[in-house]
Amino acid sequence: MKIIVPMAGRGSRLRPHTLTTPKPLLKFAGKSIVQRLVEDIVSVCDEKVDEIAFIIGDFGSEVEDELVLIANNLGAKGSVFFQDKPLGTAHAILCAKSCLQGNVVVAFADTLFSADFKIDKSHDGIIWVSQIDDPSAFGVVKMENNIITDFVEKPVKFVSDLAIIGIYYFNSGENLSTELQFLIDNNIKDKGEYQLTNALENMKNKGLKFSVGQVNEWLDCGNKDATIYTNSRVLEFNKNNNLISKKAKLVDCNIIPPCYIGDGVEIINSTIGPHVSIGNNTLVKNSTIKNSIIQESSRISNTKTQNSMIGNYVSYEGKDCDVELSLGDFCEQK
């Protein structure tokens, strides 16, 4: 089994947090988005995952090393491929063409999920979907008897409310590779890009059968508010685990669970929680913080905040009044 993770986009809707850190590498509750994604997928695979391929932009060698380590820690080979231009989902996957062999899971690194399933190999593939109110911004499927009859990319008119969440299983990576290459060779685009849904439609028309997979909860990390909400859900999923490091220093403070508090964190005279993630080596004093994400090595004081995202190496001194913050890495504000 191979897992392919396209993640070349930096995440413009999450600026300023993605100006220095690619969106899939943003952390909450102690792990990056992409680490959580591949861990969850490995947990539902009923066979060994031997390779995890990450398709990235020019993120630098430090990011590449981090991704390889994530794969290695799951007992898999980590491979890094590059997508130099944003030419669409089909083009992104084909950047890892050498990995399109045998059983393949494709998972786009801007989504997380909560589910309890195992991969059913009785059909040619599985497309995981979620029922949503407004499907116009997503690829959607139509189905009969749990078999997909149509794939439509970002429908202008209502077709279906079953949105493709960005996780796919294929019995044959070779079949997928052939169809993706066909789109490129024949310059077949949809809305200006090479779309995976077009390849899926071609495969379906040739007789391949795709079943629908359902998730209990689909968690988006597309913008600040969505990411903060996802943080709260992940903390709830893990609330029975020990989320507070023994290497944290808590002085005259009140922690309202669930919260994640990393190594070397120091919290003084503050109320934290619920649903707060604080990264390693951050200092918080004289503050009240809830429903927020604070990254590593930051210094926060004299503030009351909620629904906030604060990056790495931030220095923020408030005025003891209620604020909602969105501060990128290395920001200093008094």
d(Cα 223, Cα 110) in Å, to the nearest integer? 10
243-333, which class in CATH? mainly beta
Residue segments in the chain with a per-residue pLDDT below the cut of 50: none
- The kind and range of the H/E element at 78 are strand 77-82
Cα–Cα distance measured from residue 269 to residue 113, given in angstroms and rounded to the nearest whole number: 36
Buried b (16+ CB within 10 A) or exposed e, 274-291: ebbbbbbbbbbbbbbbbb
The answer to whether the CB of 188 falls within 8 A of the CB of 136 is no
Residue 284 token pair:
């918080």
What are the two backbone dihedrals, phi and then psi, of residue 49, each rounded to the nearest 5 degrees? Answer: -85, 115
List, for residues 71-102, the tens digit of each pLDDT value.
999 999 999 999 888 788 899 999 999 999 99
CA distance 280 to 298: 9
Nearest-angstrom CA–CA distance, 65 and 303: 36
- What's the gap between Cα 256 and its chain centre? 26
- Residue 180 has phi, psi (to 5 degrees) of -65, -45
Q: What is the token pair recorded at 243? A: 């989320």
Query: In whole angstroms, what is the distance from residue 280 CA to residue 300 CA?
Result: 13
DSSP 13: G
Mean pLDDT, rounded, of the chain: 88
Rounded to 10 deg, the angle between the 61-73 and 33-44 helix axes is: 30
Beta bridge partners of 293: 277, 309
Q: Global pTM? A: 0.87
pLDDT of residue 94: 93
Residue 119, token pair as written in the block? 């991969």
**Res 117: pLDDT:** 66
By the 8 A CB rule, do 260 and 293 touch? Answer: no
Q: What is the pLDDT of residue 4?
A: 95
Most distant CA atoms of the chain, gap in Å: 66
CB count in 10 Å sphere of residue 204: 19
* Residue carrying the six token digits 């490995």: 42
Check residue 137 and give its pLDDT. 75
Residue 56, both tokens? 């990235």
Cα–Cα distance between 179 and 196 in angstroms, integer? 9
Q: Are 126 and 120 contacting, i.e. CB atoms less than 8 angstroms apart? A: yes
- The four Cα atoms 163, 167, 168, 169 give a dihedral, to 10 degrees, of -140
pLDDT in tens, 135-163: 777 778 888 888 888 878 777 788 788 88
Question: Domain spanning 2-222 has what CATH number?
Answer: 3.90.550.10
What's the rounded Cα separation, in Å, for the pair 9 and 15? 12
Domain regions of the chain by residue span: 2-222, 243-333
Q: How many helices (H) and strands (E) does the chain have?
A: 6, 29
pLDDT score, position 160: 84
Backbone angles phi, psi at 63, to 5 degrees: -65, -45
pLDDT value of residue 78: 93
Instruction: Say what the pLDDT of residue 11 is.
Output: 66
With 0-12 CB in 10 A as exposed, 13-18 as middle and 19+ as buried, what is 242? exposed
